[in-house]
């Protein structure tokens, strides 16, 4: 960046371990955006030294998922003593314990707060309850960090990122291999599910504790009202926790939730003893870590069921093994941005350079002329993709 220094500690060229240091104010002082882990790596933590942690005044935490928040206890042990800035919901769902913190007030609009020489704008990211994006400005310039972002979620409310200016934008582009929009990715998933159901094959969806599972249940019940769709006990327990703050959800979802169209009236499914017939079952266990879930998935797939994998796959995990045996399929669920979504974000803001993160590529887009105001979906020739090393 021309006006400030950024140190990438994780999340660039890899799906996980998100962590970015940005120098601001007095030379040698930093704020940090996220502190995730890479739980598929023997050394899961970002490469931040104790000396660097001692120079961090603020840590802006976007959301509760471990690839963004999981290193926080480790950083505290190594010397972080700055101020944690996040939403109260993220703090609770990530199960953090730290006294020096600021909870940002969240309403149904973009918020603003000043911390010393920093002016911070923030909004809901549309990814999960508690999820925020940050635009941070001081007298040296400005920095934008999307966290995990999806403006077209049908469940989570999003304060759309538009009209912002920044020297550098670190922007979610997890679905980097496609330009398809969220509706098109959802249509692909539903098409694959419909083919399985019509062939008489049941479907298992392992999903995270907090995030896309609730949206999947909502959409599946709308798309397949004639099929029996259930979720396990853990799913219902986590859903109740997620729904404690209604500000994170779209009004139309809350209306249907209140009418009992999503979580009720059927009780949770107990895989150990439940004899009810299902067509689609959601399990709150993304990597099938729990023994009973692994055994249940193996039993059901041996009988012809299919596991739908909608997120990251750990090497040699049960979902990975099922994929290798062709008893599972990978389908994209738009809880992140695609390449097309990123291009639209670029068109609606004034970013001088853009670093797409949350994927395995290493590139940075450098703006030659402002790109704001072009037609969404059109090409943006002012940007040049440049490969980065290291």
Higher pLDDT, 206 or 266: 206
Mean per-residue pLDDT, 169-181: 92
Residues with Cβ within 8 Å of residue 36, at least 6 apart in sequence:
10, 11, 16, 17, 18, 19, 46, 65, 66, 67, 68, 69, 70, 71
Average pLDDT, the chain: 90
Q: Above 70 in pLDDT, residue 384? A: no
Q: Above 60 in pLDDT, residue 199? A: yes
Model confidence over 327-345: pLDDT tens digits? 999 999 999 999 999 999 9
Mean per-residue pLDDT, 63-84: 97
Residue 259's pLDDT is 78
Model confidence over 266-277: pLDDT tens digits? 889 999 999 999
Band (4; pLDDT cuts 50, 70, 90): low
Mean per-residue pLDDT, 227-234: 96
Q: Above 90 in pLDDT, residue 93? A: yes
Domain spanning 182-330, CATH architecture: 3-Layer(aba) Sandwich (3.40)
Residue 360's pLDDT is 87
Mean per-residue pLDDT, 301-317: 92
Q: How far apart are CA 352 and CA 194, in angstroms?
A: 43
Q: Percentage of the chain with pLDDT > 70?
A: 93
The reply to whether domains 6-178+336-387 and 182-330 share a CATH topology is no
Q: Above 80 in pLDDT, residue 241? A: yes
Q: Above 50 in pLDDT, residue 155? A: yes
Q: Above 50 in pLDDT, residue 74? A: yes
Give the lowest-confidence range in 62-66, 281-285, 381-385: 381-385
Q: Above 90 in pLDDT, residue 2? A: no
Mean per-residue pLDDT, 298-321: 93
Model confidence over 112-138: pLDDT tens digits? 999 999 999 999 999 999 999 999 999
Mean per-residue pLDDT, 200-210: 95
Band (315; pLDDT cuts 50, 70, 90): confident
Q: Above 80 in pLDDT, residue 387? A: no
Domain locations in the chain as residue ranges: 6-178+336-387, 182-330
Q: Above 90 in pLDDT, residue 382? A: no
Q: Above 50 in pLDDT, residue 372? A: no
Q: How far apart are CA 107 and CA 306, in angstroms?
A: 40
Determine the CATH number of domain 6-178+336-387. 3.60.15.10
Q: Percentage of the chain with pLDDT > 90?
A: 79
Band (365; pLDDT cuts 50, 70, 90): confident
SS (H, E, C) the chain: CCCCCEEEEECCCCCCCCEEEEECCCCCCEEEECCCCCCCCCCCCCCCCHHHHHCEEEEECCCCCHHHHCCHHHHHHHCCCCEEEECHHHHHHCCCCCCCEEECCCECECEEEEECCEEEEEEEECCCCCCEEEEEEECCEEEEECCCCCCCCCCECECCCCCCEECEEEEECCECCCCCCHHHHHHHHHHHHHHHHHCCCCEEEECCCCCHHHHHHHHHHHHCCCCCEEEEHHHHHHHHHHCCCHHHECHHHHHHHHCCCCCCCCCCECCCCCCCCCCEEEECCCCCCCHHHHHHHHHHHHCCCEEEECCCCCCCCHHHHHHHCCCEEECCCCCCCEHHHHHHHHHCCEECEEEEECCCCCEEEEECCCCCCCCCCCCCCCEEEEECCC
Band (41; pLDDT cuts 50, 70, 90): confident
Residue 340's pLDDT is 93
């Amino acid at each position: 960046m021309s006006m400030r220094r950024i140190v990438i500690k994780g999340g660039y060229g890899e799906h996980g371990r998100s962590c970015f240091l940005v120098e601001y104010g007095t030379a040698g002082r930093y704020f940090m955006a996220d502190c995730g882990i890479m739980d598929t790596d023997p050394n899961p933590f970002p490469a931040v030294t104790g000396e660097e942690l001692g120079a961090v005044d603020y840590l802006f935490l976007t959301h509760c998922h471990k690839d963004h928040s999981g290193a926080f206890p480790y950083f505290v042990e190594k010397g972080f003593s700055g101020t944690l800035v996040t939403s109260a919901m993220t703090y609770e769902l990530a199960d953090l314990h730290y006294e020096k913190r600021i909870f940002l007030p969240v309403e149904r609009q973009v918020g603003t707060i000043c911390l010393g020489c920093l002016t911070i704008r923030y909004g809901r990211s549309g990814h999960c309850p508690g999820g925020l994006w940050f635009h941070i400005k001081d007298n040296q310039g400005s920095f934008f960090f999307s966290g995990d972002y999806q403006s077209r979620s049908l469940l989570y409310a999003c304060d759309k990122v538009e009209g912002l200016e920044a020297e550098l934008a670190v922007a979610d582009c997890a679905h980097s291999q496609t330009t398809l929009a969220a509706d098109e990715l959802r249509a692909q998933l539903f098409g694959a599910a419909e083919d399985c159901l019509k062939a008489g094959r049941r479907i298992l969806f392992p999903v995270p504790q907090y995030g896309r599972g609730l949206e999947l249940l909502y959409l599946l019940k709308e798309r397949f009202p004639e099929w029996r769709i259930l979720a396990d006990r853990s799913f219902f327990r986590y859903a109740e926790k997620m729904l404690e703050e209604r500000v994170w959800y779209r009004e139309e979802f809350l209306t249907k939730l209140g009418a009992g169209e999503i979580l009720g009236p059927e009780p949770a499914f107990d895989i150990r003893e439940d004899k009810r017939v299902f067509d689609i079952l959601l399990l709150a266990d993304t990597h099938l870590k729990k023994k009973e879930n692994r055994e249940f998935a193996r039993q059901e797939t041996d009988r012809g069921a299919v596991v739908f994998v909608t997120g990251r796959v750990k090497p040699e995990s049960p979902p990975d093994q099922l994929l290798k045996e062709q008893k599972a399929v990978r389908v994209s669920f738009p809880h992140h941005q695609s390449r097309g979504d990123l291009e639209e974000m670029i068109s609606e803001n004034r970013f001088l350079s853009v670093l797409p993160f949350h994927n395995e590529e290493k590139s940075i887009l450098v703006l030659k002329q402002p790109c704001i105001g072009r037609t969404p979906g059109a090409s943006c020739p002012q940007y040049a993709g440049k490969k980065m090393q290291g």
